[in-house]
Structure 1
Amino acid sequence: MTSAGAGQSGDIPAIPRGTILLDADGTIIEWSPEAERLLGHRPQEMVGRPLSSLLVRPDPAAGPGLPHAPPHRGGCLVHLRDRTGQPVAVEWWMCPRPAVEGPATWAVFLAPTRDTYPCEFDRAILDALLTESPVGLHVLDTDLRLMRFNVASPGMRGVPAEGVVGRPAREVAPTVVTDTAERLMREVLSTGEPVIDFVQPGYPPADPHDEHVFSLSAFRLCNPAGEPLGVATLALDITERHRYRARLELLNDASMRIGTTLDLARTAEELAETAVGRVADAISVDVLDSVYRGEAPEPGPVPPEMTFRRTAFRTTGAAGLQPAYAVDEKASYRFPTPLTQCLADLRPRLIRKVEDGAWLAHDQLRADRIHAGRVHSMMVVPLAARGVVLGVATFYRSVTSAPFDDGDLTIAKELAAYTALGLDNARRYTREHTAALVLQNSLLPGRLPVQNAVEAAFSYLPGHAGGPWYDVIPLSGARTALVVGDMAGHGMRAVAGMGRLRAAIHSLAALDLAPDEVLAHLGDLVLELAAEGHPATANDPLEAQPTTATCAYAVYDPVNRCLVVARAGHPAPLLALPDGHVVPADAPSGPPLGSGGPSFETWETELPEGSLVALYTEGLVGGAPEDSANVARLRRVLAQQHTSVREACDAVIYAQLSGRTEDNVVLLLARTRVLHDDQVASWTFPSDPAIVATARTLAERQLASWGLSDLVFTTEMIVSELVTNAIRYARGTIQVRLVRDRSLICEVTDCSSAAPHLRHPRTTDEGGRGLLLVARLTDRWGTRRTRRGKTIWTEQALPSSAAGIPPATPDAGQVS
């Protein structure tokens, strides 16, 4: 047993220990709960017993067991019997407790033994933390001066202690201990609340030329009285983890930001916006000039003489690098350079140190820009997709001190892959868009047909190649059909669908069907087109078959000034009257063609001469409803007085469109004309064979008054055949009408709805030659239904010597 004085009290371990109080004779007078837990004896069992009764007698063969000297550290090692009689090794300390009166008592302290003494264990932990731990440990005093640090940490490895200990942490690592970090440590000192995982980039003293990212944690150090002594910080270098996470975020951003449009230039700009500031200080993107035209380059390497177009260039404000070529400028690469080598084998080039490159001598212009911009590292990456090269992206570093490495090259290749895919999609779209525009223009009328019913003009502004169309179709009886429609969708299929609809409209118009019937047949055709195209395009969303269309169809008759309108999901035509009022052609809006639904209805009105009829697509008013401000502005422009329809058409475009629109815009304007009484002659006869001669005579007199004596013979034959057929096959009155327009029109109307049939009789047949004769004597002939029956009409060309032919101003059109 040893006695520990005041100077040895620090050797008593700071762990739970049993306390026993002995009187002067060694009898136990107090037994603590800790002693009970250590040995199992209860206080009531031990008080009054000598402590020596618990001592385990030493083995006689081992000697007397009395130590020759006190232990160097800790207490004496003794063995005491527990409550079960088993020996327990404990460490023993003993010190006297003098009394004011009477004999002194003795305090005995017992503690369990360890293989390693506590002080040595604690010192080993402290030594490991300050010399071997990969985690940076820094101990600061209350003034945030560095007092201890881990010499093995990555940020302080190799830094001599005598040069930094005692200095403010802000001076030791100014880029790491920033204002924010210093404020957080002072808050830890004042509040005692620890800071965990505060991310701080900076340049540590052990590596002042490369930026590292640290995860900092801090907690307060206090003395036993709870007074602050300083702050301990733990710094974990997470640079690689941070870079890996940043690269994942960059690639994720690239997947969402690059290729969002089908525009070549915008796709290249998206690459530059994504990469500059995160991968490179500057970037240039060059695209093959042929790609701009939608052409697909040949697979494999690209020869150096190929022409490129600078598509994008971007730099940080501090880089100061000037481009060798301006955006949209065309150029070829000098040979040999990393750019030509990259295109020769389709592999990227990583140039860690630009100043070491002999290739700069082969491209002096680029070399001058690189030297002036202090570029020290660069990467050249081909933009290839689907087996073809589309361009090259070049990444530069001038402000960032670290050169590009293999990790940066991997990121650049990923960005290039995203960009190349977007460029190829844009190229394919450009090719299809160009082809679709060519096809669209070939399917639309370049100029409007000559006729006298209206003075017409149009403006067609193509945006995305799609399915809008317009038509002015001359009909029988000097009437004219006005048509504007729009096939849903964009691309080649929409254009092809538009062409089929336009051809169908011409065919239906030739049958002289009413506007509502024309739309009904068109709706059936669109349904058939959708059914035909669905199986072929089910797996190709970019080439989806258009399934609906809108259309407005109007027929104007210059004889009775009647306008008949029907529409299928299309904006209502506007009617600008000569008095300045503008009203809509309030035809019921039927469903879009191909969508089914109720039948179409017609709307009729009588227009004064000189009225302006406006048909248009939604692109002219931005898809706005009919009560919107855009439509109101259109009405104000139409209400103005214009010297010509062409002038009115231009005025509408100037007012409605502030810039180039992506929507297709079609505007068709028609100013109505009237055929006056001196150009029309009409007679009504009873169904009597005797009136045939009368009809011929009246027709002869009318032609003579018009100066068309050259057409008397053929016209008499036509009138005679048609009136005779009407008397033979129909009942009721018969009407004969002659119209002198750009041709001589002869019409016979009866009450029968049965259409005549042109036959080709044999030489032995006694009849069936009437309509065949009519067909041979006329330029055109046909049948149209009327409310009371049918009308058979014919047209004959006027002789060139005829005087007073009504003029027809050539209809104007404009395609932009």
Structure 2
Amino acid sequence: MADAPLMVVDGAGVITGWSRAAERRFGPATADALGRRLMDVLANDTRRVRRGDEMPPGLRLEPLAGEGWAVWSTEASAGSGTGGDVVEAALLDVMFTQARVRVHVLDPELRILRISDPYTDPDPAETERLRGRPFHEVCAFDEPDRVESFVREVLRTGVPGIERLFRTAAGDVPGGHRALSMTAFRLQEGHGARQSEDGRVLGVAVSMVDVSAQIRHRGRDAALAAVRDTVGRTLDVDATCRDLVEALVPGYADVAVVEVVDDVLRGETPEPGPLDLHVPLRRAAYGGSNPAAHPVGDVRAVVPGTPYQRALSDMRVRVLPLADATWTDADAARAGAIRNFGAHTLLVAPLTVRGAVLGLVSLYRCGDSEPFDEGDVPVVAAMASRAALGIDNARRYVHEYTIASALQRRLLPQHAAPQPAVETDHLLLPGGDAGHWFDTIALSGARTALAIGEVAERGIHAATTMGQLRTVVHALAALDLEPDELLARLYDTAARLAAERTQLPRSGPLHQEPLAASCAYAVYDPFTETCTIASAGHPAPLVVEPDGAAFVVGLPVGPPLGTAERAPVAAVPVQLREGSLLVLHSSALRGHAQPTSGALRQALVPTDRPMRDLCDAVAYALPDIPELRGSALLLARTHAMPEDRYAAWELPYDKTAPATARRLTSRTLADWHLEGDTGDATELIVSELVTNAVRYGSPPLKLRLILDRGLTCEIRDSSTTAPYMKYAGAVDEGGRGLFIISQLASLWGTRFASEGKTVWSEQTIPGKKKRAGS
């Protein structure tokens, strides 16, 4: 049977439609046939055999749905009867009844002439019902104007439109929205080679193939690729969760929520196995509409009887439709949030690594988005695995960073020790894991040592090296060495530490990493108001004077510690005015320590504010950039030694010197209200020190008493011979002087200078604490 009637007649028998097949069979052209009576045309049919027949052989009359009748051919071919026409008719039958391609044949006005739908069984009545309706009404596209423009362009130009993607609206195809690949060809008079551009345009044939599955597959692959490319690039748990949300919303999900076990955010190791119901989850990232209703940082416990709890219990990904969900009563708050953003499907996946649960990912699709299905489960499982690995790496870094930071801070001075003529405070910028360290060390003679350094390593190894170097500096400072002499010995220690690293296993983390560190060491003497500074690879300090003038100390900087290069280190004395600020800082702050326009100088003026306020001002003035995180600053405001806190005399270099020293000491201690046991012990110490100096030293002989952290007695002479303690026998008449001093004083020692030596002792005054480092 032909695919279209030969002709169409109205109720009065007048021809209202005429086909090319009718022209070939009956002769008249369309223009001549339209309007004529059917019986007049049939009267000339050569195939009519009896005049009384109502219809010639091979023709059939059928009523139309509206008014009128259709005349159909009952022969194998409605055309010329050639084999080619039969094949074409058979091909059309196959295309419209068996091919898995949706085909629409449209007239020039884009009305349906014929339709096939591979998703439904052939229904001639349905096809007949749709015939004549506009194309955009039959196919409810999301963008009907765009589709019609595409088809009309093909109709106008004759250029086929190949595989254009369009989406159909809900209700057109079972299952919701589908992606259709549309191909359109113009239909003209003529067959094959006989078709010409001058042929009459008959309409357009539009074929549509459902590519929803391919589109979904490509979307899943693209989302998984985005997660693999962007998630896990940083060692920050929050940033990793945000990257996951940004990779999924809005391309793959309409709303995404990432929740992480609260302890994981602090770097703690999660327990293996399912998550306990009482373990809180913190919302680490959110993506989608109305973020204010779902603030990041909220903490909640998982509610039993919900898919979230089930996913954390069996550690499996699951997809759930949200319409008429029975579990919403168990978690009314979460159900209300879901209703607010109109979600219809939930896909929930646990974040697990090595059998431990780190958190939970909840993905929602809302509105007219295509629901999640089981095909999304393995893809989201792979996404969750990738995200969990990134979160675990970040957690391990946080764990190590927390340990390193705690260790580093424990190795630093916890409180600024009071000094007699120096006010000190420090600033350690938050973040970073480098080994920046500083120290304030009380020295004999009311002097103060200031040290700052940094280690080029990171983490635990930086804290370990920092602790080693800081301990060595403390030990060398106790020897009363000059800054250049102390750094020279520190070079030797660093060289030994570097050599020890070469003996470590080759697989160890420190074997291939050479030791690299720097240190600046300064000693301030309040009697001369002079600060002597030396540096081993560390920036020179900044000095800010009371009037706001500033300068960087002209300091020759030696090579860094741990390097093979060795050069003499020079110490530079700097005269400091009363109330000047000495600023020792990490190398990262070098660019902000300019004497005119640097942030340090600007923040430290005026200089007479409390030290804590000055440190805070520097912290506020410095930019929050990664390069400065973890940097250290040691601030010292210098003063002259108060005159009422010390007394100094030059003694005669003869046998009367001990008696004179005892008399002067007794009178001074009375002025300081230090009589009694302290006074008696001090007089004995002074007598022994002066006696030794007269016996073994060289003139001139000077005595100085200092009242600061304790009571210090100093005897200075021009000899460089160092006294040492020896234990006298029971019948020996001498040799007990230094032993007596060591019993009466808390500390004692010898300090050398170019003009001789100073032997000193320090006593703890009742009611005062011993100085730091003692």
TM-score (norm 2): 0.75
1:226 match: 197
Contact 1:467 1:486 in 2 (8 A): yes
1:765-798 deviations in Å (ceiling 9; x for gaps): 898666545544543233344345x524212327
Question: Cα gap change, 1:652/1:321 in structure 2, threshold over 3 Å: closer, same or farther?
Answer: closer
Q: 1:407 aligns with which of 354, 372, 375?
A: 375
Partner of 1:291: 264
Q: Could you tell me how far apart the structure 2 residues matched to 1:610 and 1:520 are?
A: 31
* 3-state SS of 1:724 partner: helix
Match of 2:248 in 1: 275
SS in 2 for 1:639: coil
Deviations 1:487-529, CA, capped at 9 Å, x for gaps: 3344333223222222121112112233234344445545555
CA distance in 1, matches of 2:628, 2:119: 58
Alignment identity in percent? Answer: 35
1:379–1:770 Cα change, 3 Å:
same
Distance 2:100 2:340 in 1: 43
For residues 431-486 of structure 1, the C-alpha deviation after alignment (integer angstroms, 9 at most, x for no partner) is 33333333333222122223213122223343235422221111233221112223
| d(CA) in 2 for partners of 1:542, 1:179 | 68
1:720 aligns with 2:673: no
**Is 2:571 the partner of 1:609?**
no
Is structure 2 residue 622 aligned with structure 1 residue 656? yes
For residues 399 and 446 of structure 2, the distance between their equivalents in structure 1, rounded to whole angstroms, comes to: 43
Matched residue, 1:385: 353
1:794 matched residue in structure 2: 760
Equivalent runs, 1:739-778 vs 2, <5 Å: 739-742=705-708, 743-750=711-718, 752=720, 757-760=724-727, 771-772=738-739, 774-778=741-745
2:53 matched to which residue of 1?
Answer: none
Tell me how far apart the structure 2 counterparts of residues 486 and 356 of structure 1 sit (CA, whole Å).
60
Task: Say whether the 8 Å CA contact 1:472–1:481 is kept in structure 2.
Answer: yes
RMSD between aligned alpha carbons? 4.2
Give yes or no for contact 2:595–2:601 (8 Å, CA) kept in 1. Answer: no
Q: Does 1:640 align with 2:611?
A: no
AA of the residue aligned to 1:605 = V
Q: 1:579 aligns with which of 547, 554, 559?
A: 547
Residues 713-772 of structure 1: CA deviation (Å, up to 9, x unaligned): 321211221453335xxxxx65545242422231435464x7555445666889866654
Q: 1:738 — aligned with what?
A: 704
Shift of 1:120: 4.5
The letter of the residue matching 1:648 is L
- The within-5 A match list for 1:514-529 is 514-526=482-494, 528-529=496-497
Deviation string for 1:579-616 (max 9, x for gaps)? 33111123234444334445343332211222111223
Which residue is 2:139 aligned to? 173
1:783 pairs with 2:744 = no
- SS of 2:215's partner is helix
Residue aligning to 2:477:
509
Q: Residue in 1 aligned with 2:640? A: 674
| 1:554 equivalenced with 2:522 (yes/no) | yes
Residue 329 (str. 1) matches residue 291 (str. 2):
no
How far apart are the structure 2 equivalents of 1:255 and 1:558?
Answer: 62
Query: Which one is further off, 438-447 or 120-129?
Result: 120-129
1:435 and 1:492 in contact (8 A); partners too:
yes
- Helix, strand or coil: the match of 1:693? coil
Distance 1:119-1:601 versus aligned 2 partners, 3 A rule: farther
Cα pair distance change 1:800/1:334, threshold 3 Å: closer
For residues 628-662 of structure 1, what are the alpha-carbon distances to aligned partners after superposition, in whole Å with 9 as ceiling and x for unaligned?
99x62321332324243344333333433679998
Q: What is the match of residue 255 of structure 1?
A: 228
Which residues of 2 match residues 62-461 of structure 1 at below 5 A?
118-140=84-106, 142-147=108-113, 151=116, 153=118, 160-175=126-141, 178-189=144-155, 193-203=159-169, 207=173, 209-218=175-184, 224-227=195-198, 229=201, 231-316=204-289, 327-352=296-321, 354-357=323-326, 359-370=327-338, 374-400=342-368, 402-461=370-429
Structure 1 SS opposite 2:697? helix
Partner of 2:37: none
Q: Is the 8 A contact 1:309 1:328 kept in 2?
A: yes
Decide whether the 8 Å contact of 2:141 with 2:166 is kept in 1: no
Verify the 8 A CA contact 2:546 2:606 in the aligned structure 1: no
In the other structure, the counterpart of 1:483 is: 451
Corresponding residue SS for 2:256? strand
**Native 8 Å contact 1:551 1:569 kept in 2:** yes
Gaps of 5+ in 1: 1-6, 12-115, 686-690, 728-732, 802-806, 812-816
Other structure's SS at 2:548 match: coil
Q: 1:193 to 1:589 in 2, by over 3 A?
A: farther
Task: Look up the SS of the partner of 2:604 in the other structure.
Answer: helix
After TM superposition, give the deviation of residue 696 of structure 1 in Å. Answer: 3.5
CA distance in 2 between counterparts of 1:364 and 1:311 reads: 21
1:613–1:748 distance in 2 versus 1, CA, 3 Å: same
Q: Which runs of 5+ in 2 are unaligned?
A: 1-20, 26-81, 190-194, 671-678
Distance across 2 between alignment mates of 1:335 and 1:666: 49
Cα distance in 1, alignment partners of residues 121 and 139 from structure 2: 10
Paired amino acid for 1:390: L
What's the secondary structure of 1:448's corresponding residue?
coil
Give TM-score scaled by structure 1 length. 0.71
CA contact (8 A) 1:351 1:379 kept: yes
Contact 2:429/2:628, CA 8 A, preserved across alignment: no
For the residue of structure 1 that corresponds to 2:376, the secondary structure is: helix
Report the Cα distance in structure 1 between the residues aligned to 2:428 and 2:292, rounded to whole angstroms: 45
Residue identity matched to 1:487: V
Inter-CA distance 440–543: structure 2 relative to 1 (3 Å threshold): farther
> For residue 458 of structure 1, what is the amino acid of its counterpart?
H
The 3 A distance-change label for structure 1 pair 192 and 543 is farther
8 Å Cα contact 1:491-1:543 kept in structure 2: no
Displacement of 1:624 after TM fit?
Answer: 3.5
CA separation of 1:554/1:117 partners in 2, compared to 1, >3 Å: closer, same or farther? same
Q: 1:158 to 1:467 in 2, by over 3 A?
A: farther
Write out aligned runs for 1:528-547 (5 A).
528-529=496-497, 532=500, 547=515
Which structure's CA Rg is the greater one?
Answer: 1
- Counterpart residue type for residue 261 of structure 2: L
* Matched letter for residue 724 of structure 1: R
Deviates further, 178-187 or 598-607: 178-187
Aligned length: 673
Query: Matches of 1:670 and 1:521 in 2, distance apart?
Result: 25
Question: Structure 1 residues 628 and 316 mapped into 2: Cα distance closer, same or farther (>3 Å)?
Answer: farther
Q: CA deviation at 1:576?
A: 1.4
DSSP 3-state at the match of 1:624: helix
